[in-house]
Amino acid sequence: MLRFIKFLIFTLISFLFSNNFVSYNGQVYIVGLNQHDSNLNYDYRLNYIPEFRKKIAINANSNVDINFSYLFFKEQNNNKVNLSKYRSWIRYYNDYIDLRLGLQKITFGSALFLKPLSWFDSIDFRSITDQTYGVDAARLILTPNNSSSYWFWIIKNKLSPNSFGGRFELSNYYGDWGFTYYKDSQFQKHLPFQINQFLFSMLSDDLVYQPNDIESILGFRENQRLGFDYRYDGFFGFWFETSKYIMKKYDDVLFNEFLFCTLGLDYTLPYNDGILISGETIFSQVDLSIESELLDNDNISSLFYFSMPINMINNLSLFHIIDWDYNIPSNNLLLLSSTYDSFTMNYMLTLIPGQFNDFFQIEFVYNY
């Protein structure tokens, strides 16, 4: 409670003196959900993220940014307003160096929806907020020229040695290329964001309907990851993204390896100010260390996306999601977005309800 009061005081002072002290902005996010297969016919969540940012010009080419933000969130089934640190970092950058230290967002890769390289983010493609929990890290990007860059990062672990990795990006006439490596040193059982997103499509029916303590059953410990991504934009867009997890052997870890591969295409039809047609297919494969009925060895899923503007404010989109390996009805999400100067409204409806995500959802996002 004391920490909450201190933060409110800091927020008020920063707001009153924002013109002289720091820039002050933020995001209010409200989502209402009506779910058919749920004990709650209606649910809601309220997020508020105030952000304080200070930019210091060292010289004509070098700057320092300081960013600090908290996440307040309230859910219907919880009377408590929860508070957690959302971002807290300091950044130095110029034309060749970009160094950022602290709690931050790290994303990369070419895929749009089914992202094998979502190693450090939990972004939901259905949402308009791009909200994701950050990682406590030091991240350095070196850009010696306009066609290449080198990434290096160290991620802090509470009870384990620090994890580390790197990435090389290259752009040329043939497209944009990315090569990534990461050494995850966590001893504790965990599920990375990206594994958590795709794992349910590979679970057996018994576990899907009783997903209690998934992390303790299916989590893993130390691992190494290899990633590759490519994108080409020409008459149509084409991309490929893949990641491979190589596990260190433990008696309580079910896996030897994970492999995810995504292929994607998009094309814009020259009608009605542009109708975007996009599709991605992800192939998932797991090598089990022991015999288990919890997981199937491989899975193929596809997502098709159609988007068209209605007018200057409104946009209509359709997601069509297919699981090719299971007898699960295709999931169709119809999304209407209305964007104004400072806020956006999203209306999402499942057209053919399946076993999961049978809902009507309204999102309201206000940015200031």
Q: Which domains does the chain have, with CATH numbers?
A: 21-367 (2.40.160.100)
Token pair, residue 145, equals 């020229």
DSSP state of 4: H
pTM, two decimal places: 0.84
Residue 216 has a pLDDT of 65
Report the C-alpha gap between 44 and 363 in whole angstroms.
Answer: 10
Tell me, what's the pLDDT at 316?
95
List, in sequence order, every beta strand (DSSP E) within 157-274: 163-172, 175-184, 223-233, 237-247, 255-269
Burial of 260-281, coded b for 16+ CB within 10 Å and e otherwise, reads bbbbbebeeeeeeeeebebbbb
**Rounded to an integer, what is the distance from CA 338 to the centroid of its chain?**
22
Least confident of 66-75, 86-95, 349-358: 349-358
Mean pLDDT of 318-331: 78
State the average pLDDT over residues 183-202.
68
The predicted pLDDT at position 281 comes to: 95
